[in-house]
Chains A and B, each alone.
Chain A
Amino acid sequence: MTRTSAPGVRVDDLTVVYKTPAGELPALGGVSLSLAPGTITGIVGESGSGKSTLALSLLNAVQSPGRIKNGTVEIDGLGNIVELKGEDLRKARGRQVGYVFQAAQNSLNPLKTVGKQLLDLGRSHDFDDLPALLKDARSLLGRMGLDGGRVLDSYQHELSGGMRQRVGIMLALVLNAHLVVLDEPTTALDMITQAAILRIVREVHHERGLTTLIVTHDMGVAAEVTDSLAVMYGGRVVEHGPTTEVLGAPRHPYTKGLIRAIPRLSGDIDGATALPGRPPTLGTIPLQGCVFRERCPMRIAVCDTVDPVPVTRDARTVACHAVGRLATPVVPKEYA
């Protein structure tokens, strides 16, 4: 029952909590986000903003001591993955939703060749035609500029970081999953490899007709490959919209701050201004009011008490009291 076309994904009011000695703390506080079929969506945010937790939620794979407390993740052709359990969930993972790990992670069994692990994967998902699977993998690896036959015969320790990452992408795609989640796919890779990987991701995305989600903390990566961009802060999606618009005309004060903090290659380094303060950690996320207010230059009285509701206007969603008040979004000169 694999889909042959890109699925849409709708995350609704998703709350993920982590059990700590201080009680259950929210890592995601009621996130709603939809991925349009066939698009590449980026999630950016500082570490601890909950972006990886959100990515894992798409596979219902939030790691203990965390758990999904509330909300739904509807994937076309699969239903609400939060409610899937046992074998159904296992078969959805890999087959319908591919997941690519951080490059720095060792995502392969060190004791088996890539090819053997591929066969394990095929058997796990009841593939009858294993030779075809191998052929598919070889051609995918070839597409990514690798010698497929050689890579399949290699152990993890014989591959470089960039090669491992490409193998990871191959394993996420080879079962024909049409929803692919990439968690920091280029972190810890050098610039050349990073560019190559991003190019591959984009090409394969179009070629195979995928819905893709890329988690990154690198605005440059987001700008380069994504169609739409979600900005996360303190377990909330604070802004979401088409990438060019979000980056070109940010509305949420946090997005503005983030963009202002990017140093330009040309121009004065002083032009980049770091956001004041520190991002909240699990224990310091305010339980009431806007999560960003402590660092916000546009803070108003209502921010202390009421969590702003995301408001969607002309394809852009923003969760901010201050922005919601203004009839028309005004970009203050200093940020332009």
Chain B
Amino acid sequence: MTVVEGMPPTTVTLRRNFWRGVGRVMRRKPSRMVGVGIVLVFVFMGIFGPLLYPNPLPRDDNALYASPSWAHPFGTDFEGTDVLALVVTGTRYVLLAGLTTAVITVALGTVIGLLAGFHRGRWDTVLMRLTDLQLTIPGLPLLLVLSTVWKFTSPIEMGVVLGLLGWGGIARAVRSQSLSLRERGFIEAAKGLGLSTRHIIGRELLPSMAPYIAMNMLIAVTGAIYAQVGLFFLGVLPFDANNWGVMLNLSVFGGGALSSTAALPYLLAPLLAILLLTLGIVLVVDAMDEIFNPRLREE
């Protein structure tokens, strides 16, 4: 039904339409712009945050648990360190671990999902059993148990472990996507045209799934962020890492932030950071959802 006009112009139009669609989705709900802005601010803090402050962070022995002021917008902690500085410098560990996790989950999940969906048969069965196992294994308890042998001092290590524990969702999603593409005769058609498996997967399957994978990746990043902050919060990991979770732990279990108000800013600052980052990512995912999923688009 489509008139063959040569590929390049079509792709160019498609791309232009895509960006126009992005623009429209963004404009329709300005909150989405805010989401993108928030995420960018956190990325900036992650990259440049530690450069903005001296290392180690200065302590002010005269101002332990100081109230918020111009010098310390979120007050100080039990040692007199500026809370805002802790949050800003802590961003790097949090984001780096999150990013590592995302890369690993996406890589593992996509490869396993594609293999299972593409080959079907015995491969599929084995890989999906593995995926089921990964999905049902209680991740957080396992992390706690692992923390007895592994201290996760580097964010990369943390990210790798979280990634190994979190690829199941993407694998299953990618598999069902490739199965549904298969059902539509997509792969058979490509095979009929004599295209190589590598070409089909790399050029045909992956691009149509990319948005899906990208969205799952963002969700994986948030999951990883929560998990690591949570582990540090529980206090099963050493306190020398600079992580929002350490702040939460010290304020709740050490500073009694839940029973007195003195340490409340110390508690609220990392909480606020988590909430803001979540908000940013949720808004971005919401926008992506509408860009890629026309079914949800309102008339």
Given a CB threshold of 8 Å, the question of whether A touches B is answered with yes
Residue of A nearest to B3 (CB): A278
The proximity string for A residues 38-68 relative to B, scoring 1 for CB distances below 8 Å and 0 otherwise, is: 0000000000000000000000000011000
Instruction: Determine the interface band of chain A, counting residues with CB < 8 A from chain B.
Output: under 10
Chain B: how many interface residues by the 8 Å CB criterion? 1
Interface residues of A in 12-46 (CB under 8 A from B): 19
In the assembled complex, the Cα of A64 lies from the Cα of B299 at a distance in Å of: 8
Sorted nearest first, the 3 A-B pairs with minimum C-beta distance are: A65-B299, A64-B299, A19-B299
C-alpha gap A19/B299 in the complex (Å):
8
A194 to B299, CA, bound (A): 37
Q: Which residues of chain B are near A64, meaning CB under 8 Å? A: 299
CA distance A65 to B299 in the complex (A): 7
Q: Considering only CB atoms, which chain B residue lies closest to A18 in the complex?
A: B299
- Taking CB atoms and an 8 Å cut-off, the chain B residues in 262-299 that contact chain A are 299
Tell me the complex Cα distance, A226–B299, Å. Answer: 37
B298 nearest in chain A by CB position: A65
Contacts of B299 in A (CB 8 A): 19, 64-65
Within 8 Å CB of A19, what residues of B? 299
* A21 nearest in chain B by CB position: B24
Roughly how many angstroms separate A259 CA and B184 CA in the complex, as a whole number?
A: 33
Report B-chain residues with C-beta under 8 Å of the C-beta of A65.
299
The 8 A CB mask of B243-259 against A (1 = contact, 0 = none) is 00000000000000000
3 CB < 8 A contacts A-B: A19-B299, A64-B299, A65-B299
Give Cα A64–Cα B298 distance, bound, in whole angstroms: 11
B10 smallest CB distance to A (angstroms): 18
Q: Mark A153-185, 1 if CB is under 8 A from B, else 0.
A: 000000000000000000000000000000000
B1: nearest residue on chain A (CB-CB)?
A: A278
Expressed in whole angstroms, the Cα–Cα distance for A19 and B298 within the complex equals 12
User: Taking the nearest CB of chain A, how far is it from the CB of B129, in angstroms?
Assistant: 27
Report Cα–Cα, A71/B299, bound state, in Å: 24
B82 to chain A, nearest CB (A): 51
**Distance between Cα atoms of A328 and B299 in the complex (Å):** 49
State how many angstroms separate the Cβ of A67 from the closest Cβ of chain B: 11
Which residues between 61 and 110 of chain A lie within 8 Å of chain B, taking CB atoms? 64-65
B299's closest neighbor in chain A, by CB?
A65
CB distance from B279 to the nearest CB of A (A): 29
For residue A64, which residue of chain B has the nearest CB? B299
Complex Cα distance, B33 from A244, in Å, reads 63
A330 to B299, CA, bound (A): 48
Distance between A284 CB and nearest chain B CB, rounded to angstroms: 14
Q: Which residue of B lies closest to A278 (CB)?
A: B1
A191 to chain B, nearest CB (A): 24
Shortest CB distance B17–A (Å) = 12
